Chains A and B, each alone.
Chain A
Amino acid sequence: DTEVTQTPKHLVMGMTNKKSLKCEQHMGHRAMYWYKQKAKKPPELMFVYSYEKLSINESVPSRFSPECPNSSLLNLHLHALQPEDSALYLCASSRPTGGERGYTFGSGTRLTVV
């Protein structure tokens, strides 16, 4: 299994809702990432987890809350989002030292905030 699996594929949520995005990998990677990609833009790094600990937070608003419950799972908890948060949210994983074998990306969750 050499995939990064993200669920759900699509999510529509209101500004007062609480929802979670999930990401799972079974490649033994000990670094996991959340990226945000707006239409026709490159992915922007949000968070990096290394050995299940948060190592990088790119000044992301607190309405986004990441969680890494174990080495295979990565969650992104969403609360009180704004319409401008609508985007494709990508999860990725790699070896912890920067990805000698590259970074593997999931297919993403397309989030729409209404």
Chain B
Amino acid sequence: AQSVSQHNHHVILSEAASLELGCNYSYGGTVNLFWYVQYPGQHLQLLLKYFSGDPLVKGIKGFEAEFIKSKFSFNLRKPSVQWSDTAEYFCAVTSGGYNKLIFGAGTRLAVHP
């Protein structure tokens, strides 16, 4: 069965610091990869997704992620975080045409002014 691992459970940064959140998945076939963000008290919002093509994916709010197939990774990056980026970040994956979206455990990001 497919699984998703997020290694950083809690990250604390100062404003303007760079961010990289790790995500690894277990499925070896064709995958669709997603990053979602959940601001405090709000619903899940899609940051970005990867299906095929350019492995460097740009999303909303200045986020980007790189798909590295050989490492089964899809890490999320942002060059300069803001206080408003404080939220929980979830990596998620579906495999092939199977519409079963599985989430990682999440990373709680706190950005201090």
Contact A41 B99 (CB under 8 A): no
Bound Cα distance from A54 to B108, whole angstroms: 33
Please give, as numbers and ranges, the residues of chain B lying within 8 Å of A48 by CB-CB distance.
99-100
Bound Cα distance from A43 to B94, whole angstroms: 14
Question: Which of chain B's residues 80-98 have a Cβ closer than 8 Å to chain A?
Answer: 90, 94, 96-98
Q: How many residues of A contact B (CB 8 A)?
A: 27
A-B interface pairs (CB < 8 A), number: 58
Contact A99 B43 (CB under 8 A): no
Q: Among B51, B97, B104, which residue has its beta carbon within 8 angstroms of that of A42?
A: B104
Interface string of A43-72 (1 = CB under 8 A from B): 111001010000110000000000000000
Name B's interface SS.
strand
B13 interfacial by beta-carbon distance below 8 Å: no
| Distance in Å: Cβ of B15 to nearest Cβ of chain A | 24
Please give, as numbers and ranges, the residues of chain A lying within 8 Å of B94 by CB-CB distance.
98-99
Please give, as numbers and ranges, the residues of chain A lying within 8 Å of B104 by CB-CB distance.
42
Bound Cα distance from A105 to B92, whole angstroms: 13
Instruction: Name B's A-contacting residues (CB within 8 A).
Output: 32, 34, 36, 42-46, 49, 51, 90, 94, 96-106, 108
Can you list 11 A-B pairs, Cβ within 8 angstroms, ordered by A? A42-B103, A55-B99, A94-B99, A94-B101, A98-B99, A100-B32, A102-B49, A103-B34, A106-B43, A107-B43, A108-B43
